[in-house]
Amino acid sequence: MLQQHQASTKHGLAAGADHQPERPDWTTDQNWSAYTAQEHGIWKTLFERQSRLLPGRACDEFMRGLQDLPIGPEQIPNFEALSEKLMQRTGWQVVAVPGLVPDDVFFDHLANRRFPAGHFIRKPHELDYLEEPDVFHDVFGHVPMLMNPVMADYLQAYGQGGLRAKALGALDNLARVYWYTVEFGLVQQADGLRIYGAGIASSPAETVFSVEDTSPNRIQFELERVMRTHYRIDDFQETYFVLQHFDDLLNLANIDFAPVYARVAHAPCYEPGDVLPSDKLLHRGTGRYHQHPTHKGKQ
């Protein structure tokens, strides 16, 4: 399990003090030709597993993005080819990084529409759980949503807001918003509850758990509530926050968080499984899973 600081900054909000960067922006070459057949094989296993599970569970925007990108089962995607397609659609690029990068570097990349993706792939014994986001989590989980203009603008705004939040001492609040949207977000679609968060979309077990299991709470997304809610770093979420419309992310991208930080600064935080009288509850979880967790499910 990760230490709290490392884990709370997982998926990019990181302080990778152990790594020395090759370049000031921490990017490196993907070095695509160096991937081995075994590494492409791990990608294939992961890709095929998720491709079976996501139809009917991932949102339309995710499925469309996946379909329109040069991402397939046979090979780890080439970041240059991904970037070419993304650039045409939303002006984003994928850049390779060796692993977690410091907060400032991460925010600067996002603010400039560059998505830093780990270029390594997990080992065969890590198929279901790993501590640092790899190319499968970062590319399969995140990049399809970057084909969508709403997520494209939202993630850029998040990067721009990151440095402001840091200056205001509100990084934990902002990180919770990121966690419960970009990583573990659900959205209500006309035909049901759907996944858009990358942490879910790259995890077979959580793909099913998040939308179908009776154990977790599903609560309508509300910004201040989310900013005050701790999250699970080592297992499935106890609560998922659900957008009514995917376009709600646009509102989040456009509002000034500073007054919200000020309001929540001295308010108590909630535990991951708490349900409040003020919550718009879509499903009250039984809590069964976290009383007797049977396996780790992240990534």
Exposure on the CB side of residue 227, measured as CA atoms within 13 A: 20
Binders of Fe ion: how many residues, by CB under 5 A?
3
Contact 209, 272 (CB under 8 A): no
136 vs 261, beta carbon nearer Fe ion: 136
133 vs 297, beta carbon nearer Fe ion: 133
Closest distance between Fe ion and the C-beta of residue 99, in Å?
A: 12
What does the CA dihedral 45, 48, 50, 56 come to, rounded to 10 degrees? -170
86 vs 264, beta carbon nearer Fe ion: 86
187 vs 264, beta carbon nearer Fe ion: 187
Q: Is residue 40 marked as binding?
A: no
Closest distance between Fe ion and the C-beta of residue 22, in Å?
A: 22
Closest distance between Fe ion and the C-beta of residue 137, in Å?
A: 6
Closest distance between Fe ion and the C-beta of residue 155, in Å?
A: 11
Over the range 269-285, which residues count as b (16 or more CB within 10 Å of their CB) and which as e?
ebebbbeeeebeebbeb
Contact 128, 83 (CB under 8 A): no
Judged by CB under 5 A, does residue 114 bind Fe ion? no
133 vs 185, beta carbon nearer Fe ion: 133
String of DSSP letters for 271-289: -TT---TT--EEE----HH
Could you tell me which stretch among 10-18, 78-86, 166-174, 274-282 binds Fe ion (CB under 5 A)?
Answer: 10-18
Could you tell me which stretch among 62-70, 97-105, 126-134, 255-263 binds Fe ion (CB under 5 A)?
Answer: 126-134
Token pair, residue 209, equals 């758990």
Q: Which residue is nearest to Fe ion (CB)?
A: 11
Distance CA 141, CA 267 (A): 33
Closest distance between Fe ion and the C-beta of residue 267, in Å?
A: 27
Closest distance between Fe ion and the C-beta of residue 185, in Å?
A: 12
Q: Give the residues across from 244 on adjacent strands.
A: none
98 vs 133, beta carbon nearer Fe ion: 133
Q: Is residue 137 marked as binding?
A: yes
Query: Which listed residue (193, 198, 200, 226) binds Fe ion by CB under 5 A?
Result: 198
Judged by CB under 5 A, does residue 11 bind Fe ion? yes
133 vs 216, beta carbon nearer Fe ion: 133
Judged by CB under 5 A, does residue 13 bind Fe ion? no
Q: Is residue 292 marked as binding?
A: no
Closest distance between Fe ion and the C-beta of residue 72, in Å?
A: 21
Distance CA 183, CA 176 (A): 10
Could you tell me which stretch among 8-16, 28-36, 155-163, 257-265 binds Fe ion (CB under 5 A)?
Answer: 8-16
Annotated binding site for Fe cation: 137, 142, 183
Q: Which residues bind Fe ion (CB under 5 A)?
A: 11, 133, 198
